[in-house]
Amino acid sequence: MERRVVVTGVGLVTPLGIGVEESWSGLIAGKSGVGEITRFDTSDYATKIAAEVKGFNAEDFMPKKEAKRTETFIAFAIAAARMAIEDSGLKIDPSNGHRVGVLTGCGLGGLSMLELTAHTVEHKGPNRVSPFFIPLIIGNMAPGMISIQFGAKGPNSSVATACAAGAHAIGDAYEIIKYGKADAMISGGVESVITRTGIAGFCAMKALSTRNGDPQRASRPFDKDRDGFVMGEGCGMVILESLDHALARGAKIYAEMVGYGMSGDGYHMTSPPPDGEGAARCMQAAIDDAGIQKHQIGYINAHGTSTPLNDLYETRAIKMVFGDLAKSVPISSTKSMTGHLLGGAGGVETVITALTLTRGILPPTINLDNPDEECDLDYIPNVARKADITYAMTNSFGFGGTNASLILKKYFA
């Protein structure tokens, strides 16, 4: 028997702030988290901007000794998980720990530690490498450390599907609960790769915006003048529970998760197919899984990276799925404010999507000043919009042609 699954807690670490309220208020105000890169000298870089997390102190979320030896992406994950657990009121102890799992997504893992260690080997020799090197670069150490911190001993796994990783992780966690393998899951996506090699690699692909003189206007999904994505970092986590489990403990419920779609483009290493066919099949799969009609979708949190091809092809995919209804569906790309968090995007955007259902406000796509003629849908330009919606979808698409779509429903007691 399939079980209903609900969201009972949320946590955010984003370029807009530490915590859900600070991040959400920034989104609704149309605030940009993009600025000049402060982590390293960008003199030789074509791109000198990113959406960095500011004011984060790992010691606020873990013991000082542990904080000093924890890679940034792991610290973000622990922080957001702690926020989500505390928000949900979920008590994890030896009596139920084996029924609470952790599943997170991450695209690149501990890139800063990898850079540092490569430098150490080159200049000081292999005997100077930290014994923590391997544990701190592998993506599954995020769910591993969350499990250790909070005593969650149920299913423990990680997903590495590039920019779809966070959404895939949450979708997989949803199905674990749906089919009875756990009662609750801590799930989301995390990334922190604003590093020398991270930025250099995406610069080499010419994927990043070079609007260095006007960073807050650089991420502009669906705008005619978009010139690439802006790298972001951070983490979004949700607590998923079976409805019965949540009700039994009197938990507040943000939303119900009702649909999960996956697909592969089978087309190109980095580019989606021009007609958006793979993304369209993914969205349709989520709608079918939810058992609803496409006209019931009241909002789409788009992948919307601000790259010339992605935004156009996602627009075509939405038209393929929704047909004549496409122009009436409100859509926004919150990456216009947070930048693109790669593997962390799906986690952050799932939290945002859940909040749109509970708070009745749809965040805008900022910097949409000169719409692309071929991107002609309702992208909620520049100003947030009040809306009472029942179903919302969030899309995440990644390199390698991997796609994920999630559908959340407003919870009615």
Among this protein's residues, is 235 annotated catalytic?
no
Among this protein's residues, is 163 annotated catalytic?
yes
Considering the candidates 203, 245, 282, 340, report the single residue annotated as catalytic: 340
Contact 385, 364 (CB under 8 A): yes
H or E element in which residue 200 lies: helix 196-204
Q: How far apart are CA 80 and CA 98, in angstroms?
A: 21
Considering the candidates 106, 163, 282, 375, report the single residue annotated as catalytic: 163
Q: How far apart are CA 144 and CA 156, in angstroms?
A: 7
CA–chain centroid gap for 131, Å, is: 30
Contact 404, 168 (CB under 8 A): yes
Q: How far apart are CA 122 and CA 350, in angstroms?
A: 41
| Planar angle of CA 50, 347, 111, nearest 5 degrees | 50
Q: Nearest-CA neighbor of 317 among 374, 400, 363, 371?
A: 374
DSSP 3: P
| Planar angle of CA 204, 268, 394, nearest 5 degrees | 90
| Planar angle of CA 58, 61, 64, nearest 5 degrees | 60
Q: Give the number of other CB atoms < 10 A from CB of residue 197.
A: 14
Considering the candidates 106, 235, 303, 375, report the single residue annotated as catalytic: 303
Catalytic site positions: 163, 303, 340
